Amino acid sequence: MNEPHGLGPLERSFEVFFARVRAEERAPSDLWTGVVSRLNEVEAGPTAPRRRIGRRAVLRFAAAASIVAVAMVGVFLVTVRGDGPSSSTVSAEEVLRRAVVTAAAPEAGGIARLTLTLEIESFATGDWGGDEPSFEARMQSWYQAPNHQRIEGEYLWREFDGGTTASSIITVWDGDAVWRHTVDEQRVVVQNQDVTSDTFLQGLLWGGSVPNVSHELATACRTPQIVDDGEVVGRATYVLELSRPRCGLVFPGGDGKQRIWVDRETGLVLRSEWYAADGMLASVRRVTAIAVDAEIDDRRFDFILPPGVALDDRRGDASYFYLTGLSMPEEPPSISIGEAREAATFELQVPTFVPAGFSLESVQQYWGGEMARELRSHADWVLLRYVDEGGNWLQIAQGYGGPLSGLMVAAPADARQGSVSVGGVDVLWVDGSPAVWGWGPGAMLTMSWQVNRDGTAREYVAGGDVQSGSPRSMSLATNVLSLDELVAVAESLE
Amino acid sequence: MDDEQDALRRCRAGDRRAFSLIVNRYGDVLYGTAVMMLRDRVEAEDAVQDAFVDAWRGLGTFDGSRPLRPWLLRVLVNQVLRRQRRKVLPIVGGGDETLASLASADADPELAALRSWERESVAVALAALPVDAARVVILRFFSELTVAEVAEALDVPEGTVKSRLHRALRTLRDSLGESDLAPQSKREGRSERKTRA
């Protein structure tokens, strides 16, 4: 050891223990081969074949691919295709399904290429007593099936003090990687492209939700209704109103009803309006020009690194995407329960019972600054993680923006699921959820419920807080405990 | 180490074969450190591979007058931290990571039995530590870095390392108790019997 330290009983135990670990945990004999393989891929650049598909990658891919395939086939089979029946002969559910399928895979809507421009205007909900914070975006997008897209966007944040922040971002999905060039910062971040997403374009239009999750949320938690026929950029649409959500993950501003204008021919969402719980309009997203299947120069989907920019290459990481496709914020440090209680904007609940062998491993409070800023929403939640000596885990997530409850409604049809009463509250549980990300039955047991559904909650906006109605969720998940044990933990929360 | 200096010089000139010397020399300590921190051998293998790739690409920034081992461990720690950030994510939207982790978790009972260190009381006590504290203990006592090097590897002040170490050791002493902190000779005897040949 490089630095002398007193050899007390603990240190002596360390020496023996770590010597044993060193003897047992030796690098794999093919380490050098693996390193060479990785070097070859990295040095060949982004157009080269992807890194070797190892055991883990195979599992990831198989899980994701099978889930996506099953989901897409299932949804597609029940989808109404065609040129768009009149609103008198088509149900709201069918229109919604059509929109979801097209959003998730535009080819299913008959779209091979798409060029459009769109505008977004979002407003902070609440009484600001002065300048109203807002967000404006103008984007041009080129899409080519499958998995190729380019979005060039100009964004403007108007803060409540009247100040503004502008940003210009170019994002290119080249089929393999996502390149995000923040022009003002002269910075490019490149990540693996999420295999489960064909395009984020419709997510933008829809209002920040991954379409295949939105579908479940929309159908399970909102009641769709065709309220009108409409026209956007010369195209005939159904105007669909989705009721205020009864469950699932929603964001402030999305707590109220939504209206979407669904293109009759393709199922594309051409306009959406979000309303807050109090009925105020929170966001408008609209297509201002569109060309379906017009020729697009392939070079649109090649990202060429401009000279002088800093490249942050994250392709070595698996892509993890939060619901909206944004990377999760950096991992916060582990803190004490007391510190978490102080930091959180809600009353933290801690179990007085955990099954024998489990102990608290970490407490983390997520206040997702970047995510919150991008969503103009909150992400204040605390994660308690308990583990046993076998590496089994129990996680308790609670707070605003904790997403598990939203994902739970996207459980696969074959997942065991039900509800159970915990302290008089109906709690949804799912064994093997959430399906959209590739969980297998039996892989994880989750339970989730919401508190304070109609109460007040803190919404994050840049530079300040605002109160708005919003759900706070409690979610428990484990890889090993039984439902009874999970219920016992849940009932001990205080 | 002259051969190491020579290898580094050749690496900077683009000689990959020279880099194999570095990989072979430090592969074990990086892998062991990754296993201790991640508790997942597949993940650890990936982390070590990626760390060496990062190291190869970053050799130009490495000060050759300084020891290589702490620098490599720092590169590894960055890879580990990335993975640990993701590790909490399955519950919040990811999932494939844990699916894979579950599927790959020591399915071979023979292998699991050989690696019985994981069932040792020290391992259990380490696993119960907060992750920040565990990292410090592992880097200090397993990877054998100095306090200053641990600080550099974790990108925190030395004082933070010392206080984390102090708290961690106190917690470990409390959780292990006298019976688990047996005299050296006894522990070594136990260890030798269980260690893989």
Element (H, E) at A456: strand A456-461
The winner for highest mean pLDDT among A12-21, A65-74, A440-449 is A12-21
Complex-level ipTM: 0.76
User: Which token pair is A387?
Assistant: 């583990």
Nearest CB to B93 within list A1, A35, A321 = A321
**What residue of B is the nearest CA neighbor of A402?**
B92
Would you say residue A83 lies in a domain?
Answer: yes
Specify if A3 maps to a domain.
no
Q: Are residues A364 and A288 in the same domain?
A: no
Distance from CA of B183 to the nearest CA of A (A): 7
A-B CB pairs within 8 A amount to 225
Range with the lowest mean pLDDT among A168-177, A207-216, A326-335, A473-482?
A: A207-216
For residues B17-34, give the mean pLDDT: 91
Closest partner residue to A60 (CB to CB) among B36, B96, B145 is: B96
| 3-state DSSP percent of chain A in helix, strand and coil, to 5 | 25, 35, 40
Three-state DSSP at A490 gives helix
For domain B107-197, the CATH class is: mainly alpha
At residue A23, φ and ψ (nearest 5 deg) are: -70, -35
Whole-angstrom distance, CA of residue B48 vs CA of residue B85? 16
The tokens describing A118, both together, are: 């769109």
Asked whether residue A420 is domain-assigned, the answer is yes
pLDDT, tens digit, 9 for 90 and up, residues A384-421: 888 888 777 788 877 765 444 334 433 444 556 677 88
Output DSSP code: residue A296. Answer: -
From its phi and psi, is residue A73 left (phi > 0), alpha (psi between -120 and 50) or beta? alpha
CA–CA distance, A180 with A145 (Å, rounded to integer) = 20
Question: Is A427 strand, coil or helix?
Answer: strand
- Residues of chain B in contact with residue A361, where contact means CB-CB under 8 angstroms, are 127-128, 130-131
Choose the final residue of a domain: A313, A348, A378. A313
- Terminal-to-terminal C-alpha distance of chain B: 30
> Is A384 in the B-facing interface, judged by CB distances under 8 Å?
no
β partners of residue A367: A380
Q: Based on the fold, state whether residues A188 and A254 are members of the same structural domain.
A: yes
Cβ within 8 Å, pair B91-A333: no
pLDDT at residue A432 is higher than 70: no
For B48, B50, B128, the CA distances from A24, given in Å and listed in that order, are 17, 22, 21
CA angle B54, A57, A313 (to 5 degrees): 30
Q: How many CB atoms lie within 10 A of CB B24?
A: 12
In a domain, A52, yes or no: no
Residues β-bridged to residue A96: none
Please indicate, yes or no, whether residues A271 and A361 belong to a single structural domain of this protein. Answer: no
Instruction: Give yes or no: residues A30 and A114 share one domain.
Output: no
Nearest chain A Cα to B183, which residue? Answer: A9
- Helix pair B41-58, B96-104: axis angle to 10 deg: 120
Asked whether the predicted pLDDT for residue A456 surpasses 50, the reply is no
Whether residue A13 and residue B187 make contact (CB cut-off 8 A), yes or no, is yes
Is position A180 within any domain?
A: yes
Distance of alpha carbon B142 from alpha carbon B149, whole angstroms: 13
Please tell me the distance from the alpha carbon of residue B181 to that of residue A11, in angstroms, as a whole number.
Answer: 9
Instruction: Identify whether residues A432 and A465 lie together within a single domain.
Output: yes
* A109 and A87 in a common domain: yes
Residue A459's domain spans which residues?
337-491
Instruction: Please indicate if any CB of chain B lies within 8 Å of the CB of A403.
Output: yes
- For chain A, the average pLDDT equals 67
Enumerate the residues of chain A whose CB falls inside 8 A of the CB of residue B144. 1-2
Mean pLDDT (chain B) is 71
Q: Could you say which residues from 14 to 53 on chain A have a Cβ atom under 8 Å away from some Cβ of chain B? A: 14-28, 31-32, 34-36, 38-39, 42
Q: Tens of pLDDT along A279-324? A: 777 778 889 999 998 999 999 999 999 988 999 887 754 333 322 2
Are residues A246 and A362 located together in one domain of the fold? no
Whether residues A436 and A483 fall in one domain? yes
Asked whether residue A322 is assigned to any structural domain, the reply reads no
What does the pLDDT read at residue A235? 94
The percentage of residues in chain B with a pLDDT greater than 90, rounded to a whole number, is 23
Q: Give one DSSP letter per residue of A23-81, joined into a string.
A: HH-PPPTTHHHHHHHHHHHHHH-TTSPPSP--HHHHHHHHHHHHHHHHHHHHHHHT---
Cα distances (Å, whole numbers) of residue A66 to A71, A215, A325, A430, A437: 8, 19, 20, 19, 10
Q: Which pLDDT does position A23 carry in this prediction? A: 83
Model confidence at A253: pLDDT above 60: no
Please report whether residue A332 resides in a domain: no
B91 contacts A395? CB cut-off 8 A = yes
Residue A306 within a domain: yes
State the CATH number of the domain containing residue A445: 3.40.1000
Of the listed ranges A96-110, A179-193, A289-303, the least confidently predicted one is A96-110
Mean pLDDT, residues A466-473: 44
Q: Summarize the confidence of residues A274-283 as an average pLDDT.
A: 71
How many separate domains does chain A show?
Answer: 3
Structure token digits, residue B164? 């984390």
pLDDT for A123 beyond 70: no
B30, closest residue in chain A (CA to CA): A27
Closest CB to B42 among A22, A55, A438: A55
A464 exposed, middle or buried (CB, 10 Å; 0-12, 13-18, 19+)? middle
Same domain, A297 and A379: no
In this structure, are A155 and A249 located in the same domain?
yes
- Domain B1-105 annotated CATH 1.20.1600.10: no
Confidence at residue B27, expressed as pLDDT on a 0 to 100 scale: 93
What is the full DSSP assignment across A152-219?
Answer: EEEEEEE-TTS-EEEEEEEEEEESSEEEEEETTTTEEEEEEPPTT-S-SHHHHHHTSS-HHHHHHHHH
Residue B75 scores a pLDDT above 90: yes
Indicate yes or no: CB of B91 within 8 angstroms of CB of A35. Answer: no
Pairing state of beta strands A281-292 and A269-275?
Answer: antiparallel
Q: Calculate ∠ Cα B60-B24-A57, nearest 5°.
A: 85
Confidence of residue A444 (pLDDT cuts 50, 70, 90): low
- pLDDT confidence of residue A208: 40
- Sorted by where each begins, the domain ranges of chain B are 1-105, 107-197
Residues A158 and A303 in one domain: yes
Whether the CB-CB separation of A151 and A139 falls below 8 Å is answered with yes
pLDDT (tens digit, 9 = 90+) per residue, A344-393? 767 889 999 999 999 999 898 765 444 443 433 445 678 888 888 877 77
A residues 52-81 near B, CB within 8 Å?
54-56, 59-60, 63-64
